[in-house]
Amino acid sequence: MGSFSGLSIAISGIFAQQRSLNTVGHNISNVNTPGYSRQTVIHSTTAPMQLGYNMAGNKISKGTGVDAVLIMQYRDEFLDNKIRNNNKELGYWEALQAGIEDLEGIFNDYTEEGIQSAMNNFWNAWDQLSKPTGRLTSRALVKESAIALVEALKNTDKLLKDYRADKDREITETVDRVNQITKRIGELNDLIVKIEAGGSYANDFRDERNLLIDELSTLAKIQVIGSKSVTILIEGRAVVDRGLVEVLKVVPDPEKDGMAKLVWSGDNQNALISGGKIKALFDTRDDLVDRFRDRLDEMIIGLAAEINKVHVSGYGIKDNIQRKFFINGGDPSSDDIDMSNIAFNPELNDFDNIAAALNPPPYNNEDNTIALRILAIRDSKVFGEEGYDVSQGKYDFNEYYRNIILDIGKAGMEAYITAEAHRSMDKELENKKGSLVNVSMDEEMSNLIRFEHSYNASARMVNVIDEMLDIIVNRLGLVGR
């Protein structure tokens, strides 16, 4: 009985060390797997065997070996929650930073096609027309520079519309990703519950689920409840509850020209996301674009109004008809001219009709009064803090446009600094998490050697007991036969 009991103990050691070696191999194999948390085998002594009583009447028991009771993973839920809370801010500010960088590219004035260059050329052309010499060439220059300015404005307006459409598409793609993640988390919840019902841990499924939750936390503001089967809330609404999933739907918003808005699939109530990448995409699509486009629109409204006011009071050198310089391209009779409809008056394609004189022809070739007045508009302070407002005049055209560019730069710098702070926080938290959950090859190789020695020792014990049994069975009692 004693020898066979020793054999059982040795075999239990072999099995326990083998499971530990398999787990070490699993760790090493997944050293580069994203989201993987290193695993370890928990060993525990098996229930002792009662042998009876000693001479003093005390119970005697002996050990029966070892058992690998659990394969667990290293996790820190408190640290996970801190990382996910930071991810919400990181996802927001990184997406906002990317959006502002795209916007800066649209307002890029380091090229000849930029608005600032076109405006400078426009004012310089009027400067030439206001001089006594070169009047014919100067009129042609005014016409060409005006057309170039309108084209630059139209191009910027088109780029802003395309930018908004791109952000709208990105919202739809991001929401689709949210729905994919929540669907998979629901599936993993069911798998984990089924596997862990038997007392084991579904470590690899838990890793996959945690990685998806981490990604989801960058896209929206979430709350995670539970451990075995998690419930995930977005804005207080359960999008995952064990295996049940509620998806976000993208529907056209009639108040925003049919662009995307979010509703819950369960009751079609509006879903307002207050954090993460989705929030940043809505902010860039709606607030950011509108804010800077409206300010640029104010500059165009002021430009058209001020120049037309002067130009319509003067004359060209061909006839005595007074004409607007800029018109509403959709309705030439309208005085409502803005970024969406501004156009160069086609009647001025005959540049002799461009008004530079205060008096009508035929004796106004040397009259440059209107040209000088239009040139003076360049330095007129007709803009307040909110836009075109002569009564609150504080900035001229160049200053007002420069302020727009500076404010875009300030917004970009704010987003960069804040995103960088959260990136640093994320790096620090990930380093803390990594020290706990990441696979260390040095540590695993050390464990490999340790468990190998234990395995070999247990195997050696089996051999020793086998030799003992061989002696008892085959050799004991041979003398005298």
Query: Going edge to edge, which strands form the sheet with 244-245?
Result: 222-225, 231-234, 237-241, 244-245
pLDDT of residue 1: 46
pLDDT of residue 252: 93
The mean pLDDT value for 174-185 works out to 96
Residue 481 predicted with pLDDT over 60: no
Non-local CB neighbours of 257 within 8 Å, separated by 6+ positions: none
pLDDT of residue 136: 74
Question: Measuring CA to CA, how many Å separate 445 from each of 171, 372, 450?
Answer: 46, 85, 9
CA–CA gap between residue 165 and residue 175 (Å, rounded): 16
Confidence of residue 37 (pLDDT cuts 50, 70, 90): very high
Burial category of 167 from C-beta neighbours within 10 Å (exposed 0-12, middle 13-18, buried 19 and up): buried
Of 47-51, 309-313, 340-344, the range with the lowest mean pLDDT is: 47-51
Q: What is the mean pLDDT of the chain?
A: 90
The mean pLDDT value for 90-114 works out to 87
Pair of tokens at residue 441: 């090859």
Q: Tell me if residue 205 falls in helix, strand or coil.
A: helix
Which alpha helices (DSSP H) does 314-396 contain, by range? 369-377
Place of tokens 């990448």: 277
The per-residue pLDDT for range 240-269, each reduced to its tens digit, is: 998 899 999 999 999 988 999 999 998 989
The per-residue pLDDT for range 408-452, each reduced to its tens digit, is: 999 999 999 999 999 999 999 999 999 999 999 999 999 999 999
Confidence of residue 102 (pLDDT cuts 50, 70, 90): very high
Residue 48 predicted with pLDDT over 70: yes
